[in-house]
Structure 1
Amino acid sequence: MQSNVPTGSTALLNERFTLVLLAHDQSTALRRALRYYSESSFTLLVVDSSSRVDTGITAAFSDVQYLHAPTASGFGDKVRQAVEHVVTPYLAVADAESFLLPLALEQAMDFLEAHGEYGACQGYSVAFEAHADRVDYYLLDRKGCEDYSGPSAEARLSAFAEDCPALVNALTRTETLRRSYASLPAGFDSQLQEAGHSYGVVADAKVRLLDIPYGVHERSRVRKPQSQVAMTPGTQDMRAVAEQERLAITLAAAFGAGASVREHARGIVKKLAERSVPPSGKLFESTWDSRRAEPVRRFEPTQYVELPFYNQAFFDVLATLEFLLHAAPSGQVQLKELEAAMLKQKELSRPQRNTSAEPLDEQLARAFLSYAFNQDLVKQLLGLMQAKGDTRYVQMLQAWDQRLKAAAFENTARLFDDTRSGRLLRWLEAREPSAREAQQVSKYLAARKGGPTFGILILDLEADIFKMQATFDSIINGYCRAFKIVVFTTGDLPAETTPQSVLHFVKVNESNYVDKINQVVSQSDCDWMVMAEAGDELTPGGLFRAGVELLDAPCQAVAMDEFQRQPDGTLADVFRPGFNLDLLQSNPAMMGRHWLIRRETLVKLGGYSREFKNAMEFDLLLRLIEQDGLEGLAHLDEPLLICQAPVVEDNADERKTLLRHLAVRGYQADVSAVVPGTHKIDYRFAERPMVSIIVHGVDDLTVLQRGLLSVLQRTRYQRYEVLVPTMAANHPVLRTWLDGQGHQASRVRLLDIDAGVATGSLINAASQEAKGDYLVALAADSEVVNVNWIESLLNQALRPEVGVVGAKLVERDGRITQAGLILGLNDSVGSAFVGESKTARGYMNRLVVEQNCSAVSFGCLMISKQLFEAADGIDTGLFDDALGDVDLCLRVGQAGYLTVWTPHVQLIQPGVLASTPQALAALREKWSGAFAQDRFYNGNLALQGAGFALGPVRNVPWTDLLN
Structure 2
Amino acid sequence: MLKPAYDPVLLTGVNYINHFSIYRRSRLHEIGYLRTGYDGSQDYDLLLRYLEGLPDNTVLHLPYPAYWWRRNGHTYSRKFMDAATANARKAIVERFERQKQPIRVEEALTNTLHRVVFERSETSWQKISIIIPSKDSFELISRVLKDIFEQTDYPNFEVLVIDNGSSDKAVLDLYEQYRKTQPTFSATITPEPFNFSRSINRGLRAAKGEHYLILNNDVEIIEPGWLKEMVACLAFEGTGIVGAKLLYPNDKIQHAGVLVGFGGLAGHWYMNKPKDFGGPMNRLHVRNSMSCVTGAVMLISSDCAEAIGTFDEENFAVAYNDVDYCLRAHKAGFRIIWTPFACLYHHESVSRGSDKSGERKKRFEREKDNLRRLHGTQTFEDRAINPAYSRDKSDPKILMPTKLRIPSM
Aligned residue for 2:250, secondary structure, equals coil
- Change in 2 beyond 3 A, CA 1:629/1:824: closer
1:917 matched to 2:365? The reply is yes
1:584-632 C-alpha deviation (Å, 9 max, x unpaired): 11011x3333222234443343322223232222222211222534332
Matching of residues 40-79 of structure 1 within 5 Å: none
- Change in 2 beyond 3 A, CA 1:699/1:834: farther
1:653 matched to 2:103? The reply is no
Asked if 2 retains the 8 angstrom alpha-carbon contact of 1:924 and 1:931, the reply is no
Amino acid at match of 2:24: R
Aligned residue for 1:835, secondary structure, equals coil
Aligned residue for 2:384, secondary structure, equals coil
Asked if 2 retains the 8 angstrom alpha-carbon contact of 1:854 and 1:889, the reply is yes
Distance 2:288 2:102 in 1: 20
Asked if 1 retains the 8 angstrom alpha-carbon contact of 2:243 and 2:338, the reply is yes
Asked if 1 retains the 8 angstrom alpha-carbon contact of 2:34 and 2:43, the reply is yes
Distance 1:837 1:671 in 2: 26
1:606 matched to 2:54? The reply is no
Asked if 1 retains the 8 angstrom alpha-carbon contact of 2:304 and 2:334, the reply is no
Equivalent residue number for residue 819 of structure 1:
256
For residue 939 of structure 1, the aligned residue among 387, 391, 399 is: 387
Equivalent residue number for residue 767 of structure 1:
204
Distance 2:118 2:256 in 1: 22
For residue 926 of structure 1, the aligned residue among 361, 371, 374 is: 374
1:213-244 C-alpha deviation (Å, 9 max, x unpaired): xxxxxxxxxxxxxxxxxxxxxxxxxxxxxxxx
Matching of residues 433-582 of structure 1 within 5 Å: 574-582=1-9
Asked if 1 retains the 8 angstrom alpha-carbon contact of 2:243 and 2:293, the reply is yes
Larger gyration radius, structure 1 or structure 2: 1
Unpaired segments ≥5 residues, structure 1: 1-573
Distance 1:935 1:861 in 2: 20
Distance 1:597 1:911 in 2: 46
Q: Identify which of structures 1 and 2 has the higher relative contact order when contacts are C-alpha pairs closer than 8 Å and 6+ apart.
A: 2
Equivalent residue number for residue 683 of structure 1:
118
Amino acid at match of 1:908: Y
Matching of residues 624-663 of structure 1 within 5 Å: 624-644=50-70, 646=73, 650=82, 651-663=85-97
Equivalent residue number for residue 615 of structure 1:
41
Asked if 1 retains the 8 angstrom alpha-carbon contact of 2:240 and 2:304, the reply is yes
Q: Give the alignment's TM-score, normalised by structure 2.
A: 0.86
Aligned residue for 1:711, secondary structure, equals helix
Deviation of residue 898 (structure 1)? 0.9
Aligned residue for 1:902, secondary structure, equals strand
Asked if 1 retains the 8 angstrom alpha-carbon contact of 2:241 and 2:304, the reply is no
Distance 2:155 2:39 in 1: 44
Aligned residue for 2:67, secondary structure, equals strand
Asked if 1 retains the 8 angstrom alpha-carbon contact of 2:136 and 2:168, the reply is no
Distance 1:602 1:661 in 2: 16
Distance 2:12 2:373 in 1: 33
Equivalent residue number for residue 806 of structure 1:
243
Distance 2:152 2:181 in 1: 10
1:559-586 C-alpha deviation (Å, 9 max, x unpaired): xxxxxxxxxxxxxxx1111111111110
Asked if 2 retains the 8 angstrom alpha-carbon contact of 1:692 and 1:722, the reply is yes
Deviation of residue 711 (structure 1)? 1.8
1:624-668 C-alpha deviation (Å, 9 max, x unpaired): 222534332121111222113556955111111111101112210
Matching of residues 755-794 of structure 1 within 5 Å: 755-794=192-231
Aligned residue for 1:673, secondary structure, equals strand
- Change in 2 beyond 3 A, CA 1:881/1:677: same
Equivalent residue number for residue 273 of structure 2:
836
Distance 2:155 2:289 in 1: 28
Distance 2:140 2:347 in 1: 12
Aligned residue for 1:628, secondary structure, equals coil
Aligned residue for 1:777, secondary structure, equals strand
1:871 matched to 2:297? The reply is no
Distance 2:305 2:58 in 1: 28
Asked if 2 retains the 8 angstrom alpha-carbon contact of 1:809 and 1:910, the reply is no
1:951 matched to 2:399? The reply is yes
1:838-884 C-alpha deviation (Å, 9 max, x unpaired): 12222211221111111001110001234213211212232233212
- Change in 2 beyond 3 A, CA 1:929/1:833: closer
Asked if 2 retains the 8 angstrom alpha-carbon contact of 1:693 and 1:776, the reply is yes
Matching of residues 577-588 of structure 1 within 5 Å: 577-588=4-15
- Change in 2 beyond 3 A, CA 1:870/1:946: closer
- Change in 2 beyond 3 A, CA 1:592/1:946: same
Deviation of residue 782 (structure 1)? 0.6
1:671 matched to 2:97? The reply is no
Asked if 1 retains the 8 angstrom alpha-carbon contact of 2:212 and 2:302, the reply is yes
- Change in 2 beyond 3 A, CA 1:683/1:599: same
Aligned residue for 2:56, secondary structure, equals coil
Asked if 2 retains the 8 angstrom alpha-carbon contact of 1:697 and 1:759, the reply is no
Asked if 1 retains the 8 angstrom alpha-carbon contact of 2:179 and 2:186, the reply is no
How many residues get paired? 387
Aligned residue for 2:52, secondary structure, equals helix
Asked if 1 retains the 8 angstrom alpha-carbon contact of 2:388 and 2:405, the reply is no
Q: Give the alignment's TM-score, normalised by structure 1.
A: 0.38
